[in-house]
Amino acid sequence: MRDVVTSALVLAACLALPVARAADDSRTPAVEGVLAAVESLRAQAVTAGHEWLGTRSLLDEARAAAASGDAARALELAEQARRDCELALEQARREEEAWQGRVLR
């Protein structure tokens, strides 16, 4: 039992290191804001049933880049994810109208 608790504490400490390091970066709030906005767009695409396959992994990579202190890479990946989300939402809007033309009457 003691080994489990020790392992959990070590894991928690390791996970806290990138967060502490990222907190020192003055660009982190901007990056976090962008990531939150893109996540909101992704949620809309999911709700519309049109999330693109690579979007979640782009956001995961962007979060990892932000956590490691690479704000430029995080923003680049977030921008790609944002474009994917916007295109997915546009696809959903078009499909909402286009399906009617495919139905046999």
Distance separating alpha carbons of residues 40 and 14, to the nearest angstrom: 28
Question: What is the Cα–Cα distance from 22 to 93, expressed in whole angstroms?
Answer: 38
User: Stretch 67-92: mean pLDDT, rounded?
Assistant: 96
For the entire predicted model, the pTM comes to 0.68
The three-state secondary structure class of 50 is coil
What confidence score (pLDDT) does residue 27 get?
56
Average pLDDT, the chain: 80
CB count in 10 Å sphere of residue 65:
19
